[in-house]
Amino acid sequence: MSAFNQRIQPLRDLMKAQGLDAFVLRRNPNLAWAIAGRSHVPTTIDAACFDLIITQDSATAVTNVVEAPRLIAEELPSEITVKTTKWSEGRDPQLPTGSKVGSDQPGGDRIDLGTEVEMMRASLIASDVERFKEICVDAAVALGNAMKQVESSDREIDVAGLITHSLWQADLEIAFLGVAGADRVHKFRHPLPTYAVVGNRVSASICAKRKGLIASVTRIVTFGEVTDQMVSDYTSIFKVEAALLDATVVGKPFSDPINAAIAAYPANGFDADEWTKHHQGGPTGFLPRDWPANQGTTRLIAENQPIAWNPTGKGWKAEDTILATSAGVQLLTNDPDWPAFEVNGRTRGFLLQR
């Protein structure tokens, strides 16, 4: 079975179980998952540049005459046929409607099965696991290479420029880019880059995307002396991350790691309410986060599910992308040339001292 058919077989099984004649995929992350490709043109809108009609024996992409040639040449698997519309016409009239049609979003009197589709793409097939591992390493190395070029006199936007250049050279698009220098790193958990000079510390976080799959990484550079207090605080946030990783078990609810983190913050020198000041991360893959996990999340951790935890506190952050498997957690965003240290038996990214 081809990779495309392997991905959508659970969708066809769902259609059969629900008595549906067709299914319409419309959301960007779901389309990127289905085709292992780029479903967007502008990154600033939810609407994809095509819709995908799935039946038990066919797959048809509906797009306009502008996008069709590129999609056929560069993005769509050979199993998908293409139906084109004029650029001046909407795609909705070409899509099946009614109670015998499912979709990943409401509309057209279709059956909304968006949650079920999200759960399907939570488990990567083997070929996507291998692709994701490459993306994660490339993202970590690209970010690391950029951070090694940063000077303390750079502005945050200069750092963002270095990172952007490095990511695109590695064929990685930017889904999110945060940069904080010494003055802002304690103030904001999602620091979009500004004109501020970075000073003696800079923290950068990325969500980097290739063919729909997204890797999340944070790396921190310090200038000057690394004090014992800095090392202690930095180690402490990684001990919180270790609690999250230890509790990430396939078949267990996403609430388990969150509850472990809630307990780990005060146990490692943070305020007991530190966890309330920023989400701790959650499932990823085809979105930076599908949703932030919380202490009430009952959704179960799936086999081969990408996850990115991101505990923060005292101006420090731990963030890498992992794969949950029945054999244990795999850390994917590894950069062999970045300084490392060991926390709870795992090799983790340390501070880069300049």
Q: Give the CATH number of the domain where residue 165 resides.
A: 3.90.230.10
Confidence check: pLDDT of 350 > 90: yes
Same domain membership, residue 245 and residue 173:
yes
Give the model confidence (pLDDT) of 173-231 as tens digits.
999 999 999 999 888 888 999 999 999 999 999 999 999 999 999 999 999 999 999 99
CATH at residue 56 = 3.40.350.10
Domain termination residue (choose one: 120, 149, 183): 120
Confidence check: pLDDT of 46 > 80: no
Same domain membership, residue 135 and residue 68:
no
Same domain membership, residue 173 and residue 34:
no
Residue 86 structural domain: 3-120
Same domain membership, residue 74 and residue 141:
no
How far is Cα 334 from Cα 349, in angstroms, rounded to an integer? Answer: 8
Same domain membership, residue 143 and residue 68:
no
Residue 243 DSSP SS3: helix
Same domain membership, residue 132 and residue 194:
yes
Same domain membership, residue 203 and residue 98:
no
Give the model confidence (pLDDT) of 289-302 as tens digits.
999 999 999 999 99
* Residue 251 CA, distance from chain mean position: 21
Same domain membership, residue 182 and residue 110:
no
Same domain membership, residue 349 and residue 272:
yes
How far is Cα 122 from Cα 4, in angstroms, rounded to an integer? Answer: 15
Domain termination residue (choose one: 120, 140, 163): 120
Same domain membership, residue 242 and residue 140:
yes
Percent of the chain surpassing pLDDT 90 = 95
Confidence band for 285, pLDDT divided at 50, 70 and 90 = very high
User: C-alpha angle 133/244/259, rounded to 5°?
Assistant: 145
| pLDDT number for residue 47 | 85
Same domain membership, residue 191 and residue 332:
yes
Give the model confidence (pLDDT) of 101-120 as tens digits.
999 999 989 999 999 999 99
Q: What are the DSSP E strand ranges found in the chain? A: 22-27, 47-54, 59-64, 81-85, 101-103, 111-112, 173-181, 201-210, 213-222, 281-283, 305-309, 312-313, 316-317, 320-325, 328-331, 340-343, 346-349, 352-353
Same domain membership, residue 46 and residue 107:
yes
Tell me how many domains the chain contains: 2
Domain termination residue (choose one: 87, 120, 153): 120
Confidence check: pLDDT of 32 > 90: yes
